[in-house]
Structure 1
Amino acid sequence: MASRTLGRRQAAARAGARAEAKAPADEGSWIEVAGLEKVYRPRRSEPTHALSDIDFTIKRGEFVSVVGPSGCGKTTLLKILAGLIPKTDGTVRVAGRDVSGPLPEVGMVFQAATLLPWRTILQNVMVPVQVQRLNVREYRERAEDLLKMVGLEDFAGKYPHELSGGMQQRAGICRALVHNPAVLLMDEPFGALDAMTREYMNVELLRIWRESGQTIVFVTHSISEAVFLSDRVVVLSPRPGRIAEIVDIDLGRPRDLGIVSSDAAGVYVKRIREHFSAAGVID
C-alpha cells in the first residue's frame, strides 16, 4: 500500500517538475551532453585535462553506468551533471535545463553515505527538504515511505553509527530521493561494501529504480556490476576521459543475480574489458 501511495506521489511530482522546466526535454534527451570539456587549472601546478569531447544523451527512466580506469574523469563527469563543479566547455542539460549549478531535479549519492552523525536516520533523510525549504509535514510522510520501501522503517529513530554500512547507504539513497528528483546520480556508492552486501545492494537498487521511476547515472569500477544494472554502459578511456564506446545491454528485465555468471553477461563484460586491456589498463 505504501509503495502504491509513494508511486502516485512520485508521478505527480515528476509531472510538476516537467511543467516547471524552462525547456522540457523529450524522451530521447532527458540528459544531454555535447562537446563537454573539463580542464582543472590549479594555481600552483600544471593544468589537468580531465574530460575531452564527451557526447551522449540519456532517455528518461534509463539506468546508465559509467566505467573506466581510475583517474579517467568518471567522478568529474558526475559532479558536472550535478552542477557541483563548472564545465570548461560544451553543453550539459538535465531535464531541459542548462546545468550551471545544483538543480532540484537532481539527487546525488556519494561514495560514502556521509550521514550526519548527530541526526537520526529520518532526520538525515529530511536534510534536502530543509535545505530546499519544502513542506516538512508533506515530505516527512514521503521520507517514512522511502525508509519503509528500503526496509529501514524500524531504524528511523536510530543514529548512523547504529546501522551497518549497507543500511547507511540505503538511507543515503532515501535522502537523495526524498525531494522527488528526476535524475539520481550515484558515485561508486557500494565500493566500500563487502561482496555479499554489495550484491544485495545491487538487487535492492534495481528494485528502488523500478519502483521510483528515476533516471539513474551510476559510476562504478566494476564492469560486471555495470552490466548487471544497466540499460547502457558508457566506457571512458584513460585521462583525458573520452568515450571509447557506449554499449547497449540487452539482457532483459527484471534481472536476478544469476544473470551475472551467464554467458550472455560474460560477452558484454569481455567486450568492455577489452577497451582497458588494449590500453594497457586493467580496471
Structure 2
Amino acid sequence: MAMKTLGRRRQSVAAAAPEADENRWIEIAGLHKVYRPRKSEPTHALSAIDFAARRGEFISVVGPSGCGKTTLLKILAGLVPKTEGTVRVAGRDVEGPLPEVGMVFQAATLLPWRTILQNVMVPAEIQRLDKTVYRDRAGDLLQMVGLGGFEDKYPDELSGGMQQRAGICRALVHDPAVLLMDEPFGALDAMTREYMNVELLRIWRESGKTVVLVTHSIPEAVFLSDRVVVLSPRPGRIAEVIDIDLERPRDLSVMASDRAGVYVERIRKYFHAHSVID
C-alpha cells in the first residue's frame, strides 16, 4: 500500500541539509532559555540542555509543570528564540520556523470555516507548494488516519479525536523531517486517548517521521517512546534520558505489563523527589 512510503521519500520538500547526520537528526547543545519580561524579573526556563535524536526515533519529554517542556518544543519549531546554545534539525540551524518541522498543538485549532481537507492543506498553501500534488497527499494522509470520506466535513462535525487526527495530517502534509507534538491528547477522554496512542504509533510507523512528544502522562510516554527525556523543575535540565526496551509493534496490553511498570516507576521517582506528580 502506498501509505507506507508517504513519509519515507528521499526527494522531499523538506529535504535534509547535505551534511545531516542521521544519528543526530535533532541536535541540541548548551541550550539555555531565559525569558526577560519588561516589567518583572527574568525567568530561566531551560538550562544546559544537551541532547541528540536519531532519524525515525520516537522521543517523549516529561517533567513537572513549568519545567520548560513546551518552551523546548517551541524552540525546536523555531517559534521561540533560544538565549544561548545550538539547535539543529535535519542538519539545519533553527533560527526560525523551518519547513523541516511540523507541529501538533494541544488543541487541533482547525479553522471552522474551512473543510477538513482545506484545513490540512494550510501548510502547503503557506509554503506555496503545488496544490494538485499536495491535495493528493492530503487525501492520502486522511485515508491513513481513518478520515477518508470526511474531506468535505467541517471541524464541528468531527469528534475531538477526529479533529486531532486531522491536525496530525496538517502537520505532515508538507512532508517535514520532524513532527513535534505538544500534549496533543490532553483534552481527550481516557478511552479516546488510548485509541489515539495506538493510532499515533501506527501513523509514526507508516510515515517514518522523527517524533518529539511532550506529555504529562508517564505511562503514555513509556508506551509510545524509544527514549524518554526527563526534565527537572525549572530551570529545566535533563535529569535522565531513559531507553525504553519494549518490543515493537506495541498494543495497549504493554501499558499494563511489568516491564512497562518498571520504567514508569523509574521516571515517577523524579516527580516524587520534588513532591510533584504528573
How far residue 229 of structure 1 moved from its aligned partner, in angstroms, is 0.1
Which runs of no fewer than 5 residues in structure 2 stay unpaired? none
Q: What TM-score results when the alignment is normalised by the length of structure 1?
A: 0.96
Deviations 1:39-77 (A, max 9, x none): 000111111000000000000000000000100000000
Q: Is the 8 A contact 2:124 2:174 kept in 1?
A: yes
How far residue 23 of structure 1 moved from its aligned partner, in angstroms, is 4.5
Q: Alignment partner for residue 250 of structure 1, among 245, 250, 253?
A: 245
Structure with bigger helix share is 1
Query: What is the 5 A alignment of 1:126-205?
Result: 126-205=121-200
Match status 1:10 vs 2:7? yes
- In the alignment, what sits opposite 2:21? 26
Change in CA separation of 1:8 and 1:230 when aligned onto 2, cut-off 3 Å: closer
Which residue identity lines up with residue 270 of structure 1 in the other structure? E
How far residue 11 of structure 1 moved from its aligned partner, in angstroms, is 2.8
SS at match of 2:7: helix
Higher deviation after alignment, 92-101 or 272-281: 272-281
What root-mean-square deviation, in Å, do the aligned CA atoms of Structure 1 and Structure 2 show? Answer: 1.2
Give the count of matched residue pairs: 278
Match status 1:219 vs 2:214? yes
Structure 1 consecutive aligned stretches of length 4 or more whose deviation exceeds 6 Å: none
SS at match of 2:233: coil
Q: Is the 8 A contact 1:23 1:97 kept in 2?
A: no
Q: Is the 8 A contact 2:120 2:138 kept in 1?
A: yes
How far residue 281 of structure 1 moved from its aligned partner, in angstroms, is 1.7
Change in CA separation of 1:87 and 1:257 when aligned onto 2, cut-off 3 Å: same
Q: Distance in 2 between matches of 1:123 and 1:179?
A: 14
- In the alignment, what sits opposite 1:67? 62
SS at match of 1:10: coil
Q: Is the 8 A contact 2:5 2:206 kept in 1?
A: no
Match status 1:234 vs 2:261? no
- In the alignment, what sits opposite 2:256? 261
How far residue 282 of structure 1 moved from its aligned partner, in angstroms, is 1.7
Which residue identity lines up with residue 178 of structure 1 in the other structure? V
Which runs of no fewer than 5 residues in structure 1 stay unpaired? none
Q: Is the 8 A contact 1:62 1:215 kept in 2?
A: yes
How far residue 25 of structure 1 moved from its aligned partner, in angstroms, is 1.8
- In the alignment, what sits opposite 1:76? 71
Deviations 1:168-216 (A, max 9, x none): 0000000000000110000000000000000000000000000000000
Deviations 1:246-276 (A, max 9, x none): 0000001000000101100000000000011
Q: Distance in 2 between matches of 1:256 and 1:102?
A: 34
